[in-house]
Amino acid sequence: MSNFEILMVGPTGAGKTSLLTSMYDVLKSDLSKMGCSLTPDGSTRGPLHEQREKLETYGNTSHKDIGVQADEGIEGTSDERAYEFAVRLDQDRADHDFTIRFTDIPGRWINHDPNGRVAELMQRANATMIAIDATALMEEPKSSGTGKYHSKINSPKPILEAYEHAGIGMDNVPHTVIYALVKAETYYEDGRILELRNRAQEAYSDLTRYFLSQGVSVYLMPVKTVGCLRFHRFTDTETGLMQYFRRIVGREYEPQDCDVPLRLMLREALDAHLVAKRGGMPAFFTQLLEFFGANKRLKEVLEEISAEVDQTSYKIDRIS
């Protein structure tokens, strides 16, 4: 059985765990309808459950403002954490077909790579999900067009420098990068998703240019991580920068489009699993075997997942 490695990059507090929780919540039921399953392991199940409970409280809170510490940025304080999911193409099977592992690295490691761990993960990963705080990117724009706190919170330049130092796919590992624009509820509500997407493409043009030069596929996806909050303000306090949100009246925890990044990564994982199953055999031989039914179930699921991804994802092919 093979593992599909996904690296999660971005500032501490951007909402990577919230995004992972929402992705899983939305996609697991869809996979069940396809006869598949996506099952978190024991060490993953607890943190996802705790995060889901936290997100659900946003839909019934009586507080006018919900504050989030926003100035940890690329520094942060957390440790590396792995989240692992078993994928079964037939949910009634005892054994799983392969695993998907998300590794969330602390933001501060981008600047201070302990023992080359970040470089190792960047080189080993099959895919990278870069979480971008949409409110930091958009609010209180400067003359450059990006938000006042974008560089401080999202820190795209150090991420580029880390990748240039580490290289990418050093072992010829196929690679995909997803820019996940989290906390995008406000821009969905205001009809500004196109503006958000264009702003992100411009702000991350140097990083995207590097990825494209390395033959990496790059996608950009705004998501409603929670669905019931909208941005209110940034406030400088004695303890640091705070980000405040307000509940959208009548809304509950209802993530939207969060399944799209996971669908894309699942498609890449299924494709890699199919390649591994074929085992490097000549094309005519694999075609013959598959004509008689080999890998039939895997190809069916891959085709269905691919159709959904193609309809909902936005791929960046070039930088002007």
Please name the CATH architecture into which domain 2-316 falls: 3-Layer(aba) Sandwich (3.40)
Amino acid 73: pLDDT: 45
pLDDT (tens digit, 0 to 9) for every residue of the chain, 320 residues total?
A: 458 889 999 876 667 888 888 888 877 877 888 888 889 999 999 988 898 888 888 777 777 778 777 655 444 446 788 999 998 888 877 788 888 899 998 877 887 777 888 888 888 888 899 999 999 999 988 888 899 999 888 889 999 998 988 877 655 556 889 999 999 999 999 999 999 999 999 999 999 999 998 888 899 999 888 888 889 998 888 777 888 888 887 888 888 777 788 888 888 877 777 777 777 666 655 665 555 556 677 777 777 777 766 666 688 888 86
**What pairs with residue 209 in β-bridges?**
none
CB 24 within 8 A of CB 262: yes
Amino acid 171: pLDDT: 55
Prediction pTM value = 0.87
Amino acid 170: pLDDT: 52
Calculate helix-pair angle for 259-278, 16-33, nearest 10 degrees: 60
d(CA 40, CA 20): 11
CB 303 within 8 A of CB 264: no
Amino acid 72: pLDDT: 53
